[in-house]
Amino acid sequence: MLRSLLSLPRTSFLTHGVRPTYARAPLVASLLQNGTRCFSAPRENKKTSILLQVEDGPGALQETLKFFWKHDVNMTRIESRPAKGHNMNYSFFIDFEGKSGQPEVDELMADLEKNCLDVMVLNDKKVPWFPRKINELDRSVANILDAGTDLESDHPGFSDQEYRKRRNMFAEIAQNYRQGDPIPRLDYTQDEIKTWGVIYKRMKKMWKEHACDEFNYIIPLLESNCGYAEDNIPQQEDISNFLKECTGFTLRPVGGLLSSRDFLNGLAFRVFFSTQYIRHHSMPLYTPEPDICHELMGHAPMFADPDFADFSHEVGLASLGASDEEIERLATCYWFSVEFGITKQRGEYKAYGAGLLSSFGEMEYACAANRPAGSDMPEYRPWDPFSACKQKYPITTYQPVYYVAGSLFDAKEKMRGFCEDLKKPFQARYDPYSQTVSIDRAVQRQEI
Count Cβ neighbours within 10 Å for each residue of 113-134 and write b for 16 or more, e otherwise: eeebeebeeeeeeebbbbbbeb
CA atoms of 181 and 360, how far apart (whole Å): 34
**CA–CA separation, 299 vs 249, rounded Å?**
12
Measure the CA–CA gap between 313 and 19, rounded to whole angstroms: 11
From the candidates 210, 280, 299, 313, which is the catalytic residue? Answer: 299
* Alpha helices in 227-348, H assignment, sequence order: 236-247, 260-267, 292-293, 306-319, 324-334
DSSP 182: P
Q: Of the listed 97, 192, 326, 339, which one is catalytic? A: 339
80, 35 Cβ separation under 8 angstroms = yes
* CA–CA separation, 253 and 170 (whole Å): 9
**Chain centre distance of CA 339:** 13
Identify the helix (H) or strand (E) that includes residue 215: helix 213-226
For residue 328, give the amino acid letter: E
Q: Is 339 annotated as a binding residue?
A: yes
**Is residue 71 annotated as part of the catalytic site, yes or no?**
no
Query: Closest by alpha carbon to 379, among 390, 393, 389?
Result: 393
Question: Residue 295 annotated as binding?
Answer: no
CB atoms under 10 Å from CB of 104, counted, come to 14
Residue 358 designated active-site: yes
Distance of alpha carbon 248 from alpha carbon 246, whole angstroms: 6
Q: Is 448 helix (H, G, I), strand (E, B) or coil?
A: coil
Check the annotation: does 71 bind a ligand: no
Please calculate the CA angle 306-232-288 and round it to the nearest 5 degrees. 75
Backbone angles phi, psi at 47, to 5 degrees: -125, 160
The reply to whether 299 belongs to the active site is yes
CA within 13 Å, CB half, 291? 21
3-state DSSP helix/strand/coil % of the chain, to nearest 5: 40, 20, 40
CB 29 within 8 A of CB 80: no
Handedness of CA 299, 303, 307, 311 (dihedral sign): positive
Query: CA of 370: how far to CAs of 203, 359, 364, 377, 400, in Å?
Result: 18, 17, 9, 10, 16
Residue ranges of the binding site for Fe cation: 294, 299, 339
Enumerate the active-site residues. 294, 299, 339, 358
